[in-house]
Amino acid sequence: MPTYRLRINDRVHEVEGEPADSLLSVLRYELNLPGSKYGCGEGQCGACTVLLDGQATRSCVTRIGAIGGKSVTTIEALANGDRLHAVQEAFLEVEAFQCGYCTPGMVMAVVGLLRTHPNPSEQDIARMLERNVCRCGTYPRIVRAVKLAAERMRATDHHGSQATDHRGSTR
Chain residues in the site for another protein (CB under 8 A)? 17-18, 21-22, 25, 28-30, 32, 34-42, 44-45, 47, 74-76, 78-79, 84, 88, 91-92, 95, 97-104, 107, 125-127, 129-143
Give min distance, CB of 105 to another protein, in A: 9
Q: Which residues contact 71 (CB under 8 A, 6 or more apart)?
A: 7, 8, 10, 52, 53, 166
| Closer Cβ to another protein, 51 or 133, answer by number | 133
- Look at residue 27 and give its three-state secondary structure: helix
Give min distance, CB of 165 to another protein, in A: 18
| Closer Cβ to another protein, 29 or 68, answer by number | 29
| Closer Cβ to another protein, 25 or 164, answer by number | 25
Q: What span, in angstroms and rounded, lies between the C-alpha atoms of 148 and 135? A: 22
The dihedral of CA 2, 14, 28, 150: what is its sign? negative
Give min distance, CB of 122 to another protein, in A: 9
Element (H, E) at 21: none
